Structure 1
Amino acid sequence: MQIQAPDIGVDKALVAEILVKVGDHVAVEDSLLVLESDKATVEVPSTAAGVVKSILVKQGDEVTEGVALIELEEQAQASEATTTEAPKAESQKAEVKAEKTEDQPAPVAAKTANATQVVDVKVPDIGVEKALVAEILVKVGDQIETEQSIVVVESDKATVEVPSSVAGVVESIQIKEGDSVKEGVVLIQVKTTTTETASAPQAEPAEAEAPASTSTTTGEVEITVPDLGVDKAVVSEILVNVGDRVEAQQSLCVVESDKASVEVPSSSAGIVKAIHVSLNQDVRQGMPLASIEVSGEAVPATAKAPKASPAEEVRSPATKPQPVAAQTQSAPAQPEKLSKQQEADNAKVYAGPAVRKLARELGVVLGQVKASGEHGRVMKDDVFAYVKTRLTTAPASPTTQAAPAASGLPALPDFSAFGGGEVKAMTRLQQVSVPQLSLNNFIPQVTQFDLADITELEAWRGELKEGFKKQGISLTILAFIAKAVAHLLKEEPYFAGHLADDQKSVLLRNEIHMGIAVATPDGLTVPVLRNPDQKSIKQIATELAELSQKARDRKLSPKDLQGANFTITSLGSIGGTAFTPLVNWPQVAILGISPATMQPVWNGKDFDPRLMLPLSLSYDHRVINGADAARFSNKLTKLLKDIRSLLL
């Protein structure tokens, strides 16, 4: 059977990532690939269990609803799953139609001039049972349009902006950020104003008068302030004078707000007859800016009304071909504001689809924007604040050096004279890690090295290992180290803290959440072990095994990777004697573990063979003093030498 692209609320989407390969066994609801659009990032689940026979799309492909994505060689029970999906989809469509029908005013209401009603806007089917309200995009009293995004909801599989099904004024907001919602839950209530249908025939006389006015060779078109995304703006520059000849799409004036600087274009070609604004005047959407006398164009009687769209005005017939040619030249294809590399950098930042779209429109690299949202989420206001800062900051003086890349390094030199090379894309996991690792350039890091005698600890682990194995638990030395470190972090809270944004204080955490670095075929990932200080060695060993397996199977959820305040990274039995692990911002310390080796240790009389474990404690020197790091490392070696007292 074929797995097809579902309805994600937009006409088309891009294949951002393919999560399976040919030959993989998948179960019902296993994620197959990731689709992205301006409004949503959605993981497409399998509707049946089976084996991936072929992958019909590739990364970067543009797909629409119903396009075949994956071909499955399904198991017997898959047929039952698919048969139940069709009625469900039909019933959902029926419900949507029913809701739309309810939203429409009854024919009787058409007799009333203006009828108001309060409509509940509910959570649509977002493909998961429940999701969290991540951001509320409107407030009580806001005037909203149909399809305007009102809230952002998040789940493990998707970040979705929920649009309003009606236009009107927000009467009340029924949810708050952090609430768990599901399909059918009321999000907001909107007061709508329904205009009588009898008003439609009234437009006919105007249309009837249009032919009379089209016989006139001249007429005036009023240019109004477009939607700037803000309540008001200031006219900072007027670019034309009365009597000037302007072309369609030629800029008339510049209006500025805290969030944007916009050139307002003329929708028609003609002569400027009047300018209705002055410098430094506050203007709002719909206010008249200028009057243009259009020569040789058919101008309807309602030309002054701002109802005619610019597109309709452009399509008006002209007696001369010159305006058309000028119009074609004045609307060239806009170049992309972001390079493909910058688009890729933006994809790694935690932000909603609307914010990503705004960043593309403004040419902003999200990695350079300071996030103010929860969990480091970039908000729209953050992007506007970044743009405003850039606009008000003096540009750097030009130099002859190579332009720096996003990482701050100059561009690569040309190697064609030295045999050339071939560009190989990094895995998605490696790409996501680049900006995070680059933050280490801003951390003054020091590494403290030490050796822990784990001879007795390893002997005890050997005694316990067989019993754990019978219970299906792999008991590694890492479980003991995690327990010992968690105990120490309670005594030394600064090692589990964070440097505050003001650079003058430290945020001390109330709980211990420990990142454990896991090597996978795609690269290094760091799932989080929750509250190891409150768990037994057996519980820690079990959870470490589960997290490692989920990491290798690419089944980690975003929550599995968030909230750590200390990290342990181990080379295991790979090799080496010591290394310098990088502090993982916003943490201030990380412990590296190298392979243990038998070494001769002087006991005062002779040398004893002891199993010694190399430890590498890297720390942010702004928060941790060298003496504190040495003390922490020394305490850890003593705990590992005799850990039994800790577990009593």
Structure 2
Amino acid sequence: MFEFELPDLGEGVAEGEVLEWHVAVGDTVTEDQVLAEVETDKAAVDVPSPVDGVVRELHAEAGDVVQTGELLVTIEEDGEREAAESGATETASEEASADETTTDAAPTVTTGDGRVFAAPSVRRLAREEGVDITAVEGSGPGGRVTEADVEAAAEAAENDDGPTSVVSKISDDEDDGPTSVVSRVGDDGESPTDDEAQAVKSAVRKVSAAEPMAERRERTLATPATRRLARELDVDIDAVPTDETRDGEPYVDEAAVRSFAEAEAAEVTDEDVREVTEAVVSEMQSIADEAAESTTAVEAAEGDRREPYRGVRRAIGEQMTRSRREVPHATHHDKVAVPGLVEARDRLQPLAEERGVHLTYTPFLLKCVAAALDDHPILASQLDAENEEIVYKADRNVGVAAATDHGLVVPVVEDVDEKGLLELATEVNDLVDRARSRDIAREEMQGGTFTVTNFGTIGGEYADPVINVPETAILGVGALKERPVAEDGEVVAKPTLTLSLAIDHRVIDGADAARFVNTLKEYLADPTRLLLE
């Protein structure tokens, strides 16, 4: 087994983060095949395999930080290579002796099996420059071959009229980004072979396709953690301003990256936000639509009962699904003491009965809601997404949610602000009765601009009501009962109502919701205020 340790990836580099594995356990690899991409504080580099064989174990996962010299991967070498191990040293010695007798080059520093000590980046540089790395004397620690050694060898070869490596670089005044085109010219002037071209391409790092920034650097030092943060924040680390240096090179830390990201975010326009929001909402809606279309059969056991899901129940379900899918709900909860409301209803109820009208709290509630909507018209609005407009409705048509045996229905009481209490009471009672007997027309459940659901008549204090789209708000009212209230430093029992106002957060802000509820509370606490309107 060949135990491959993380090699020296550059002078002064002590560790690297495994960005991505290009092989898995059981894969067959060849010498120089890329095993993994590792990022240091200076660059992201490809780590090639030093031998032919089969990967038996990966000793790190993507995201792990591995120290230089720490075990990275175990490779089982090919049988042929194992058989040749015994003669490797002798062959290497003979080749070195032959080189000494025929050239002036210094002896190479190799491992026991004839391999050269050199970092992957140095090997790539040698391939780019057309330099035989086995013929280069290493000047680094332990005889390692450095980039300077390869560059010196390439320069010496050029002076000897040997093959020349010509790298085309884009000039500063051209429009496009840096190119990755490297042309190799030999003595015969022929184009590089496919193998040579592939080797060159793998040695050239791809750069961003975006237009280069005026202040963008070509090289920046940063720790792997900082580079990971830059990727998460979508920050070009070479564009982050810095006055710090390490070994004469610009250095960027996490604080600088975060500061730059915040500055970039501050420059985001409303149009940017709108485009991103629309894209996210569209994607979420697509996911929801796919989920809605994928139905799963439900197994029924003995004793279970089935009934058709259709008619009103299905229409309600589809409406509620659409509301939750399209509308970002936010709910504002509050409580109000209403002794004035109770007193007003108790005083007027006998007079209403004399006229044959059963007066509940609902007409009072509708009148208070209509008055509050006049003060805060944003709550009586609809969103026209197609035309990108908010429509402020002039009519005070309020829907009254009613529980029936066949589901929740919402008859609409039109022009609440123009009708008296007795007229409203008569109309509400008639609509609800006909809704429960299924004798209500479809048109009588359309055209609402705001909805009230009084779940307190059944039980409960607070809820999270679902908006009746295309409306942008719905008020849920809890049970009317005595609750403890602080008054003049003492706790007293008073009749109170609990309020749950759900809003479409695309149109209505939380502050608008709070102001509306505050106004509504004033009217509910003292309904005689309506006489001033």
**Same-fold call, TM > 0.5?**
no
Please give the TM-score of this superposition, normalised by the length of structure 1: 0.36
Higher helix share: 2
- Relative to total residues, which structure has the larger strand share, 1 or 2? 1
Rg (Cα) greater in structure: 2
Structure of greater relative contact order (alpha carbons < 8 Å, 6+ residues apart): 2
